[in-house]
Amino acid sequence: MIPLSHFMLISAGLFCIGLFAVLTRRNAIQVLIGIEFMINAAVLNFVAFGKYDKISGGGQMFALFAIVLAAAGVAVALAIILNVYKYFKSIDPSKTNTLKD
């Protein structure tokens, strides 16, 4: 039996690793991976709490929804990154400084 707090500590660590990637990486794909880590940390918390809730099953259901939303987010984000590269010839987020044409 794994205590709930250990799940939460792992997810806290994973979240901070993702936060670090988002703050410091200079490559949009790695920033995206950082965001995915943060989402996965949240999903781990959902699942860990969902273990104690069999009747309404909220934890596991929303974990499933969060995974699907994250996958949808990745698909759009990668399309945007490819377009940003086509326009700016770089995917460094700090170099893309305009939104309009």
Partner 1 sequence: MGEEQIIFYFFAASVLISALCVVVMKNLVRSIFLFFVSLFSLAALYLFALADFIALAQVVIYAGGVLVLMLFAFMLSNRELLNSLKPAGSGFKVNHFAGILISLLFLFILVTVIVKTDLNQLDWMQESVPIHVNDNSTHQIGIHTMTAYLLPFEILSVFLMMVLIGAAHLARKGGRA
Residues 12-71 contacting partner 1, CB under 8 A: 12-21, 23-27, 29-30, 33-34, 36-37, 40, 43-44, 47-48, 50-57, 59-61, 63-65, 67-71
Q: From residue 72 to residue 91, what is the string marking binding to partner 1 with x (rule CB under 8 A)?
A: x-xxx-xxxxxx-xxx-xxx
Residue with tokens 């959902």: 46
Q: Which bin fits 96, alpha (ψ -120 to 50), beta or left (φ > 0)?
A: beta
Q: Which is nearer to partner 1, 85 or 98 (CB)?
A: 85
Burial of residue 75, with CB atoms counted within 10 A of its CB: 0-12 exposed, 13-18 middle, 19 or more buried: exposed
Among 35, 42, 92, 99, binds partner 1 (CB under 8 A): 92
Reference 41, options 4, 64, 14, 9; nearest CA is 14
The nearest distance, CB 97 to partner 1, in angstroms, is 16
CB of 93 to partner 1, least distance (A): 12
Determine, following the binding rule CB under 8 A, whether residue 96 of this chain makes contact with partner 1.
Answer: no
Residues 6+ apart with CB under 8 A from 77: 32, 35
